Amino acid sequence: MFYLFTHNDLDGVGCGILARLAYGNKAEIKYNSVGGLEHQLERFLERAAERAGDEDFLCITDLSVGKEMANKLTEYESEGKQLQLIDHHKTALYLNEFSWGEVTVSDKEGRLASATSLFYEYLLKRDLLQDSGGVGEFVELVRQYDTWEWDQNNNQKAKQLNDLFFLVSIEEFEKRMVERLAQSSAFEFDDFESRLLQMEAEKIERYIRRKGREIIQTFIGNYCTGIVHAESYHSELGNELGKEHSHLDYIAILNLGGKKISYRTIHDNIDVSAIAGKFGGGGHAKASGSPMDKEAFRVYIEEVFAMDPIRPDASRNLYNIKESGIGTLYETRQGETFFIYLHSGGTWRAERNGSDMGHEFSSFIEAERHLKRKFSAYLARDEAFVNYLARHYVSGKK
């Protein structure tokens, strides 16, 4: 019997679908949360003696184990049992020290790997699956979504696959995908799924718009952090809020009911897995999670509870627009004004309440980033812009 313990997200369930295609009814698949894996493995190992003589194969995908459990798995393998762990998270690289551990962050072509893509290669090499077009496309969609490459490639089909995953139960999703991939040479959504996905896209858009009015900004350590409470659509929310507020280093998404925190960033120089690791979590450089322990509760809730949400930039301006040749006006909740303008030397300067700040910026984006991070400034409306120009001589700034 092939026993698979895998994660309960799209990437983990993708592994389950491949296992079902490869092993059929000879596969027993258990979908686990990050915190629930070791409990399930303890039960499996306790019952190992009852299965003495059976040619069992234990496989773990898209999840990692601590050192104590790793030692127990090594002991299990030493008894002649077959064991394999396949993962792609950087925080699990230490498991490569074990003979049964295979943790690969990037593939040979330099692309970020997913558990589903690694498990697919594992099965292909052992002739347990055929390299059919439909299965290969499904695997690539999962990989692109899990590594967030879909956003760079604007691959909406990958995002829709994850949307569908959350619209039905894991059992229903697995059944649908296995039947489709076993029969089709190409991967497509059926008419019912397409209609369902269109409705879901509209729902997500409304949700993100509402949550965008609730995000707060603060510095946690050296990181300019956005914090928002949300129970759903963490990946979509983190990505959209990160792009809308690109001056923020990362977004922390708090699920108080589940006592969990998701961390998302759009920046290549920020590793949120290191931030999550401080609170007992981990994951990818751009998408990670952690439990909400007492320290995390203090940092992300207690210390910022009294703060007001970020004021969004004015969205319907005709005159006060970014990188304008006549300058751009920003305001703060405290009533301060900041005016960014192009200096004669080709650099950008800013005034605070009508007085030069003494800073020179290489680009408008750099100047705006400074004002947003340090003062929580936001783009003023046209009316405020016109009034400001009426009180100041723009010509003196050219």
Residue 251's domain is classified under what CATH number? 3.10.310
Same domain, 99 and 145: yes
Residue 332 and residue 296 in one domain: no
pLDDT classification of 229: cutoffs 50, 70, 90: very high
Residue 392 pLDDT class (50, 70, 90 cuts):
confident
For residues 17 and 155, state if they share a domain.
Answer: yes
Pair 142, 25 in one domain:
yes
Q: Give a yes or no: residue 281 inside a domain.
A: yes
pLDDT band at 50 (very low <50, low <70, confident <90, very high): confident
Do 183 and 221 sit in the same domain of this protein?
no
Q: Is the confidence at residue 396, as pLDDT, over 60?
A: no
Would you state the pLDDT for residue 144?
A: 95
Asked if residue 163 is part of any domain, the answer here is yes
Hey, how many other C-beta atoms are within 10 angstroms of the C-beta on 156? 13
Sign of CA dihedral 158, 164, 169, 173: negative
Its pTM stands at 0.75
Q: Does residue 123 fall inside a structural domain?
A: yes
Residue-wise pLDDT tens digits, 107-139: 888 899 999 999 999 999 999 998 778 999 999
Last residue of a domain, one of 187, 221, 240: 187
Same domain, 78 and 131: yes
Q: Look at residue 53 and tell me if it is in a domain.
A: yes
Average pLDDT over residues 33-37: 88
Both 58 and 132 in a single domain? yes
Q: Which of 122, 154, 156, 161 is nearest to 138 (CA)?
A: 161
Inside any domain, residue 310: no
Average pLDDT of the chain is 93
Shared domain check, 386 and 237: no
- Average pLDDT of 339-345? 91
Same domain, 43 and 76: yes
Quote the number of domains for the chain: 3
150 and 50 belong to one structural domain: yes
- Domain range spanning residue 363? 328-397
Q: Which of 187, 222, 243 is the last residue of a domain?
A: 187
Is the same domain home to 334 and 297? no
Asked whether residue 6 is assigned to any structural domain, the reply reads yes
Residue 200 lies in a domain: no
314 within a domain of the structure (yes/no): no
pLDDT 10s digits, 176-221: 999 999 987 889 999 999 999 999 999 999 999 999 999 999 999 9
Residue 395 pLDDT level (bands cut at 50, 70, 90): very low
Q: Do both 173 and 220 map to the same domain?
A: no
